[in-house]
Amino acid sequence: MAITSAAAAVPALSSLAHRAPIPSISFLFPDSTRPFSLSRSFRSFSLTPQAKASDIEISFFDDLNPEDEAVAFDPPTPPEGFIPPPAFDDGPEETEDEVAAAYEELYGPAYSGVSVLGNDVYVMDSKVKKTSAFGKVTKEKVRDGFEERVVQVRRVTKVVKGGKQLHFRAIVVVGDKQGQVGVGVGKAKEVIAAVQKSAVNARRNLITIPMTKYLTFPHRSEGDYGAAKVMLRPAAPGTGVIAGGAVRIVLEMAGVENALGKQIGSKNALNNARATVVAVQKMKQFREVAQERGIPMEELWK
């Protein structure tokens, strides 16, 4: 009975829904003959603010023709004592030697083999990256005028939590045999890498050895490093380098041809090489001593 009453109520509700009066929207468009404009009808509902003509700060010179009217350029007056900077091309002209040296620094020596920076025509080869197969960069020996001499290569061990780590320590002396020498040390897992590292370290620690015209020391000197002590003495021409171990290598790479050297104390190669450097750094030329004392060089031997 309840189901039949509910079924009878459904058509009644549907008829009510279809027969509901639809509100008229003619009040929005009172005159149907005039064309409808959305912007004119809903102008008051605009959300974007409109700028006024008085708010615009851009000036337009429509009536100004720069060709007809000459605009006078009136720069500010310079302050008192103002000196104008020189132009970039007002400097002195470069000489031919300076131009050749600058060209050689950029592109290397000429094909004639005459080098402005030195006699080594391969001086620029160390700055050029050379690639081999598969684009791998090959490391070549640096040609900068310095010779390398390996003093010692030892295997060192570092004990860590997981076991022992094996490395190689290399001691290398570099010098140009013209008074400059350096001692370096480096460690790596391979011997070649250790030698390369020590050579770079030696180039960073270059010193200049004072020498006389007979390629010997100006005076005697002693130096110590750690437990090693080195004694250096000048020698007459034709004597040669009478020294042993690392002291001999350091003196030969520096270009000393006549000298006496003696290792006193420890026989450690690294400490003896560095003790030789300390002893050489204590030496002074005769002119430096005379200049410090304020006397001529002739009075040094009186």
Q: What is the CATH number of the domain that holds 181?
A: 3.30.160.20
Q: What is the CATH number of the domain that holds 229?
A: 3.30.230.10
249 and 227 in a common domain: yes
User: What domain range is 264 assigned to?
Assistant: 221-299
Reported as a single tens digit per residue, the pLDDT across 203-257 is: 999 999 999 999 999 999 999 999 999 999 999 999 999 999 999 999 999 999 9
Does residue 66 form part of some domain?
no
289 and 234 in a common domain: yes
Does residue 176 form part of some domain?
yes
225 and 194 in a common domain: no
Does residue 95 form part of some domain?
no
Under DSSP, is residue 281 helix (H, G, I), strand (E, B) or coil?
A: helix
Reported as a single tens digit per residue, the pLDDT across 45-58 is: 555 566 666 666 66
Percent with pLDDT over 90 in the chain: 44
For the sheet with 206-208, list strands across it: 147-160, 163-175, 180-188, 206-208
Does residue 129 form part of some domain?
no
Give residues with Cβ within 8 angstroms of 101, minimum separation 6. 116, 117
Does residue 234 form part of some domain?
yes
Burial letters for 2-37: b for 16+ Cβ neighbours within 10 Å, e otherwise?
A: eeeeeeeeeeeeeeeeeeeeeeeeeeeeeeeeeeee
248 and 203 in a common domain: no
Between strands 137-138 and 147-160, the pairing is: unpaired
- Helical residues (DSSP H) of the chain, grouped into ranges: 2-18, 38-41, 96-107, 191-203, 246-254, 269-281, 286-293
228 and 197 in a common domain: no
Does residue 256 form part of some domain?
yes
Please tell me the total count of domains within the chain: 2
Reported as a single tens digit per residue, the pLDDT across 54-103 is: 666 666 556 666 666 566 778 888 898 888 887 777 777 778 778 777 77
237 and 290 in a common domain: yes
Does residue 57 form part of some domain?
no
Q: pTM to 2 decimals?
A: 0.54
